[in-house]
Amino acid sequence: MTELRNPLPEDSAIARRPRLTFQFITESGVSRPKGATLALIRSNARRKRPKKTPSLQPRRATRVLRPTTNLDEIARPSYDIDPFKLNQIYENKNYVSMISHYYSVFSGDEWRYSTIRPIFLVEETLERSLSDPAVLHISIAHVSKALYTLAGHQTCPEYVYHMNQTLEILNQRIANSRDMMITNDTILTVISLVGFELRSGPTARVELHLDGIEALIEHRGGIEALYNDRFLMKNLIGNDIVTSLISGLKTRLKIAPIAPHPKLDLLSSTRYRIKLSKLTSSEDLSQEAVEIYAMLRHLIMDKEKTIAARKLTDAEFDSFGSYAQYLAYQLIPLVQGKVLIPPDQPYRNTGIFRLLGLAGLAHIFTFSWKLPRPHMIIWIILMGGLASQGTTHQEWFVKTLASSCSYARIFGTVELSLFLSNFLWSDFYLGPVFEEFWSAIAAAQTMNNDEGDDGD
């Protein structure tokens, strides 16, 4: 018999317990199992599972959120993709992950139609999404919703699950805001919630989230406390502009005026203003439109032309982005403006101001910020290509469309039709009259794929 030593003091209450010993079993006279019998015993032992013991960790806090959807009806995922359970994100074999489907929803580092880098880079978006549980949940909810919508599904259990997890985390953080400071990631998550409300929620719910963002910023001591977080500021300003444009609400942020910019020469400015005034009977808006046009012209013909020829430093890119942001804030009132027409005058063409504002914002979103609009851009290139068939311009459109489709991971006319079906698509595009164009596209994509394989 071998005795187990007790390291505790003799007067300890634990030490006064009966001493533990190892008891060796004496020989029974039966020989040790061998061969098939031993293999069977080991097989049965491996099949046994230890009984679960009660966890010593405290249970999670009771939900503040009461979801309207019964989460028990949603198949609970089978295992964690986060082994240390830092973010509490789950997956199963049908799971839609943030990383593997990123390019299906968001834009890449660069697109063929513009040499200007996008305002949101892939690496910083993924890094931020993986840095905080709430941001990760809302990011996966966004990806899940987008992919299910593209597939034509009405329900999305992954979206419901991750959205409820997002709201639960937000509720807990806001409830503890007296003891713990509201983080930048919490504000970023609420900003992302506004995007979901813009798609389907009423304006009142959009305003509710906007009020919440203002309250959280005030809790942090004002917007100046967020200036060092470039990613958060880009999302905050972009959300303010897009929300105002879609919902018709006024912008919430006040952007400081930028440095003086070149203006139109006096002759051109006067000529444009007089023409607009005669067309619209609104001299004040005509003057404002001419000033905004001068800024838009400076952005497109001077700034973008310069930066497209070389790689920008971070400081130069921030300066360019600030100019585009300020211009966007000037275009919003032009889009939303309601011109008061005197009752004794007939209706005049005041809609031209709104068209100018929308066109300016479309350029900023598509080219200056390079927000992901692959459906629209690829469709525009496709229209140019179909119209150029048989001309000297066809080769350029073929190369551009083939490279854009390859970059967006679209191969063949079947995938292209599915990709554009939610934007603009007609089977007439594949008609026999355009057979020459599609043959050239197939050849160009094959060449691109071969070059990519050689590069690997």
Q: Is the pLDDT of residue 251 over 80?
A: yes
The pTM for the full model equals 0.59
Q: Which two tokens stand for residue 353?
A: 């101001």
Phi, psi angles (nearest 5°) of residue 435: -60, -40
Q: Region 390-403: what's the mean pLDDT?
A: 89
- Per-residue confidence (pLDDT) for residue 55, from 0 to 100: 41
| Cα–Cα distance, 19 to 200 (Å, whole number) | 70
| pLDDT tens digits for range 65-111 | 344 444 333 333 333 333 333 344 444 433 334 454 555 455 444 44
- Coil, strand, or helix at residue 447? helix
Q: Is the pLDDT of residue 61 over 90?
A: no
- Per-residue confidence (pLDDT) for residue 150, from 0 to 100: 66
25 versus 333: which is more confidently predicted?
333
Neighbours of 393 (CB within 10 A): 13
- Per-residue confidence (pLDDT) for residue 409, from 0 to 100: 74
Q: Region 119-125: what's the mean pLDDT?
A: 75
Q: Region 17-44: what's the mean pLDDT?
A: 49
Q: Which two tokens stand for residue 184?
A: 């930048």
223 versus 116: which is more confidently predicted?
223
Q: DSSP letters of 192-249?
A: HHHHHHHHHS-HHHHHHHHHHHHHHHHHTTSGGGGTT-HHHHHHHHHHHHHHHHHH-P
Q: Region 224-233: what's the mean pLDDT?
A: 90
| pLDDT tens digits for range 298-351 | 888 888 877 766 676 777 777 888 889 999 999 998 888 755 555 555 557 778
Is the separation of the CB atoms in 423 and 376 below 8 Å? yes
Q: Is the pLDDT of residue 48 over 90?
A: no
Q: Is the pLDDT of residue 269 over 60?
A: yes
Give the single-character DSSP code of 60: P
Instruction: Choose the most confident range, by mean pLDDT, from 94-108, 249-263, 272-286, 310-324.
Output: 272-286
